[in-house]
Amino acid sequence: MIRFENFFFKYNAQVEPTLRDINLEIEKGEKVLIIGPSGCGKSTLIHCLNGLIPFSFEGEKKGSLTVDGKETWDMSIFELSGHVGTVLQDQDAQFIGLTVAEDLAFALENDMVDEPDLHDRVDQIAEVVNISSHLLHSPQELSGGQKQRVSLGGVMINDADVLLFDEPLANLDPDTGKRAIELIDQIHRETGDTIIISEHRLEDVLWRKVDRIVLMEEGRIVADTTPDRLLTTDLIEKAGVREPLYITALKYAGVEITPEMKSSSLDSIVITDDDRQKVRDWFGKTSAAPRPFRTEPVLQVRDLNFTYRSDRSQAEDHQALKDINVDLMKGEMMAIVGTNGAGKSTFSKVICGFERHDSGSLLLNGQDLSELSIKERADHIGYIMQDPNQMISKTMIFDEVAMGLRNRGMSEEEVTEKVNETLRTCGLWPFRNWPVSALSYGQKKRVTIASILSLEPEIMILDEPTAGQDYRHYTEIMEFLKSLNERGMTVALITHDMHLMLEYAERSVVFSDGRIIADDTAANILTNRDIIARASLKETSLYRLAEICGIEDARRFVEHFIDHERRYRRNA
């Protein structure tokens, strides 16, 4: 179905090729996962397949790329779209219609399909992607998972032979991401389409079987093999991609990962009695690190309520926050988690003053926040939004990160030193003189983080700070945040990333339907099946590994893994 032969591609704006010596064949009906660090060429490879290169991004190519036997460079983008459909990482950029039904019907309308057939086809696809009850809704009103279903329906309606998914899990809560992988797997089994997924979250994609994993680094393919074989190597770790947590735990325990173990899934993994004993012995030797005990609140929230008032796009009032009581402690790093639409982002917007609460109180170091303007609050509280495009206002990367420092009256020499230091930390130093428009979605995210990090506020609230980031940049950003935290900054992380929650958060606050339903350690929350179900979280694979190895206290096993991981990082 797809064949790259000695393929090179270089953007016109760059000196060096982004893709080098690509030789890859994907058979009809295969399900292939493409992984690799940010900037390795994954997105460029996807864009070559779906026609965005060369029709939107011009450049020079060498070699051959064929889809269904036809050279893509000889096809129009319209012709190519009949073979290849793409679900973009940013679904909002993909919507055309004012309602879900209109969006699904768009391609059929352009093909002048008769109205009765059009309605039947829309209803059929809506049922397949489980969005039938939202056909009259605006796509912008939907949750992240629902938007993804609409995007998938929009490309499926054309009967494309190849479906591309670009970072499909980046903005989804853990349970919705799990269901998205199940939906992709269902579509694959029912249609026999060729499925290609580009994603950083390896363990989450492997929730359902894939035929092959293609690992890319610096524009080249460095591995093309089955998941079970790839997980036996150190190539994933060297490339800066996070391996499944249970694989890491097995390695810490001295268990050798072999292809025969079928380690790509905990449902099929084969662990011998000797290996189970190794895990139990390792667990028994691990001592729990003392937990910090913090008593000084920097922000106190009491009886907080907030309601979105009805307007043309919303038929009735919606109470987004209900009787919220929580303290942010001075110097802590905490996680705020829960399903899409649970109230996490609304809570942060109320704290920052973007929205005015209906009732209750917000006290910053004892001062009533309602007395402060948004600008005055921003001197103490930094907020990094989930969508980087809503924050960026400058053309050049350096100027974007420097803007806040310049507004504070710093000398240009101080600004340059601070900006360069932050750009290095966030992995953006090579792009310091680039325009923001040339960056990927994940790179833009790092720019917005850098612009706030450079200001070092007293409290920093980050909405999905690691979405779309590879493990290397994820670690760099989180270790930098940790260093700020250790100097006394309070950090609140709104996240769907359970790895981040486990590794870095001292404490996690769980939202569900506008209320706080849990305030506890990450280990306690991610081993509590009731809280996991109510908040659309995902049980950590460490819990399942503990059960497989006959360890009764799974919660303590998770805590010990976290402690070991932190010590390992410090000594690495």
**What's the order of all strands across the beta sheet hosting 59-67?**
19-26, 2-11, 59-67, 70-71
pTM over the 0.85 mark: no
Q: And the tokens for 226?
A: 């089955």
**Residue 558, CA distances (Å) to 286, 434, 449, 492 in order:** 11, 42, 29, 22
* Residue carrying the six token digits 């591995």: 223
Find all residues with CB under 8 Å of 267, minimum gap 6, and list them.
none
CA torsion 382→386→388→389, rounded to 10°? Answer: -120
| Residue-level pLDDT at 71 | 94
| Residue-level pLDDT at 505 | 92
Find all residues with CB under 8 Å of 281, minimum gap 6, and list them.
253
Of 192, 319, 236, residue with least CA distance to 35: 236
| Residue-level pLDDT at 158 | 78
| Residue-level pLDDT at 397 | 95
Q: Which helix (H) or strand (E) holds 307?
A: strand 297-308
| Residue-level pLDDT at 288 | 63
Helix 100-110 with 144-156: angle, nearest 10 deg: 20
| Residue-level pLDDT at 572 | 57
Q: What is the Cα–Cα distance from 537 to 103, expressed in whole angstroms?
A: 30
| Residue-level pLDDT at 405 | 93
Q: What is the mean pLDDT of each run of 10 residues along the chain (572 residues)?
A: 96 90 96 91 92 90 94 90 84 84 89 90 86 87 78 82 87 80 90 92 92 95 96 91 93 94 93 96 77 85 91 68 95 91 89 93 93 88 86 94 92 94 87 86 82 89 81 80 85 90 92 94 90 88 93 90 80 62
Of 464, 447, 468, 350, residue with least CA distance to 403: 447
